[in-house]
Amino acid sequence: MSIIGFPNPVNEKAARTVAAGVLILSVLTVATGQLWLTAVLAYGFIARTATGPTLSPLGQLATRVIAPQLGAPRLVPGPPKRFAQAMGAVITTAAAILHFAFGQTTAVLVLLVLISIAAALESILAVCIGCIVFGFLMRLHVIPESICEDCADVSRRLSLAEDRLARR
């Protein structure tokens, strides 16, 4: 059994719960000026990109404790969510490097505000910036359709949505 990998599909309720945790931690980091917490954020994004929730304490809390309390899972394709986690990993890792290696407080704060905005959009409004960028890159054929067949096949998504509505 390998710990490396990302789930597909993903429970959107768990993803939004993780985003809420990221929002809280990033806002706390900015508000308190405890920029060392940027390393904690970076670790979480790197862990989730590499293993999904497996090596992420926040991912474990979201998938095992909080999301099950929110009702039946709402399954969405995994590859765009992984891409979003990778975007977060790049931004928070850059912020951590800027803080620890270069002492660049302003740049770190700007990057943390960007992460906070993205996490707020995901957790509160279910708007995933990484997923939007992923879709755009698929339409440009930068990301091959084979990476996410569910994302590429709009008719399949519409059919699944119709099935869900019919079951209500």
Question: What's the pLDDT score for residue 153?
Answer: 76
pTM of this prediction? 0.91
Domain that holds residue 97: 10-128
The 8-class DSSP code of residue 8 comes to: S
Residue 135 lies in a domain: no
CA distance 145 to 142: 9
CA torsion sign for 85, 88, 93, 99 is negative
Question: What's the pLDDT score for residue 166?
Answer: 65
Residue 71 lies in a domain: yes
Residue 156 lies in a domain: no
Residue 155 lies in a domain: no
The 8-class DSSP code of residue 79 comes to: H
Question: What's the pLDDT score for residue 23?
Answer: 98
Q: How many domains does the chain have?
A: 1
For the chain, which ranges sit under pLDDT 50?
A: none
Residue 39 lies in a domain: yes
CA torsion sign for 60, 62, 68, 73 is negative
